[in-house]
Amino acid sequence: MKKRLIVILFIACLFLLTGCKKNDYVGGVFSSDVEYKYEDAVAKYESTSYVQNRYLIGFLSTVEYDVPQDSLLLSGRHYIFYQAGSVLPAGEYYAVYSTPEEGLAYPEIEIKGMKYAGYFKADGTRITTPAKDSMLFVRYISFADAGLVVVVCVAIVFAMLALLWGIVSLFRFIAPKAIEAKKEEKPVVQKQQIKLEDIKDEDMMVAVLVASIDYHEETQQDVRVVSVKEL
């Protein structure tokens, strides 16, 4: 049982530490000194850069978004992801692609020194499927924050294992114990010796005489009955 728990714990920790990483579908950098509508930015970028068998699904700003205090976005660092219908201010952007196999699914975009943490709408809702919003927010956390998340996840795993171990241990007290069958002690009946003069019953006297005769025949000796013991 302990070996199985250790194996399960090892696999869980390995999964938490490595995680599932998608392919990095980031193209070249798109730079502009003026404001561009999304469709115009796509046309200008693809006129000089083209990635075969991939779909351009948006532009990720390289400038960190200054999240307002009243924002519903989670803590961390956020970068704006511009989609169709948006307007790109002057600046630098990463061109983000997807493949026919993944459709328009949003890929993980790794940034050096930070860990990808998902796409979010302005209302703080995390999404994994394509959204019609003109702008989304890609959230990142530092490696220190990611390490803290791993520690918390591992602690939760240990806590769940400890809880399961405690529940299993309680079964020993909750389940009824097997009751050992007690040996029945037979009362010891003390047999009293009876003298010949005390024998008043004819059947008892006959039994005594028959027993003395049998004993005489077996031993071929004289027999004298002194007392009789009841069996």
Q: Of 95, 130, 148, which residue constitutes the final position of a domain?
A: 148
Indicate whether 50 and 134 sit together in one domain: yes
Indicate whether 72 and 141 sit together in one domain: yes
- Enter the DSSP assignment of 128: S
Indicate whether 131 and 22 sit together in one domain: yes
Per-residue pLDDT, 58: 94
Q: What does residue 99 show for φ and ψ, rounded to 5 degrees? A: -110, 160
Average pLDDT over residues 34-38: 97
**Which of these, 150, 84, 81, lies nearest to 120 by C-alpha position?**
81
Indicate whether 15 and 90 sit together in one domain: yes
Per-residue pLDDT, 110: 81
Whether the per-residue pLDDT at 112 is higher than 90: the answer is no
Per-residue pLDDT, 94: 93
Neighbours of 177 (CB within 10 A): 7
Per-residue pLDDT, 179: 46
| Banded model confidence at residue 122, pLDDT cuts 50, 70, 90 | very high
Whether the per-residue pLDDT at 106 is higher than 70: the answer is yes
Indicate whether 41 and 125 sit together in one domain: yes
Q: Which domain holds residue 211?
A: 193-229
Please report whether residue 65 resides in a domain: yes
Beta-sheet strands, E only, within 44-134: 55-65, 77-82, 87-88, 91-98, 114-120, 126-127
Pick the more confident residue, 194 or 31.
Answer: 31
Q: What is the tally of structural domains in the chain?
A: 2
Please report whether residue 165 resides in a domain: no
Q: How many residues are recorded in the chain?
A: 231
Q: Using CA atoms of 28, 29, 33, 37 in order, give the dihedral in degrees to the nearest 10.
A: 70
The answer to whether 44 and 36 are in contact (CB under 8 A) is: yes
Indicate whether 214 and 118 sit together in one domain: no
Label residues 86-102 b or e (16+ Cβ within 10 Å = b): bebeeeebbbbbbeeeb
Please report whether residue 166 resides in a domain: no
Per-residue pLDDT, 214: 79
Indicate whether 214 and 128 sit together in one domain: no
Please report whether residue 170 resides in a domain: no
Contacts of 223 (CB under 8 A, 6+ apart): 212, 213, 215, 216
Indicate whether 108 and 203 sit together in one domain: no
Pick the more confident residue, 15 or 106.
Answer: 106
Per-residue pLDDT, 21: 44
Residue 6 region by backbone torsions, left for phi larger than 0, else alpha for psi between -120 and 50, else beta: alpha
Please report whether residue 41 resides in a domain: yes
Please report whether residue 95 resides in a domain: yes
Burial class (CB in 10 A: 0-12, 13-18, 19+), 157: middle
| Banded model confidence at residue 22, pLDDT cuts 50, 70, 90 | very low
Measured distance CA(56)–CA(54) in Å, rounded: 7
Whether the per-residue pLDDT at 141 is higher than 80: the answer is yes
What pTM value is reported for the model?
0.57
| Banded model confidence at residue 219, pLDDT cuts 50, 70, 90 | confident
| Banded model confidence at residue 53, pLDDT cuts 50, 70, 90 | confident
Average pLDDT over residues 64-86: 94
For the stretch 151-194, pLDDT in tens is: 888 889 888 888 888 887 777 776 555 444 455 555 555 555 66
Indicate whether 38 and 102 sit together in one domain: yes
Indicate whether 103 and 214 sit together in one domain: no
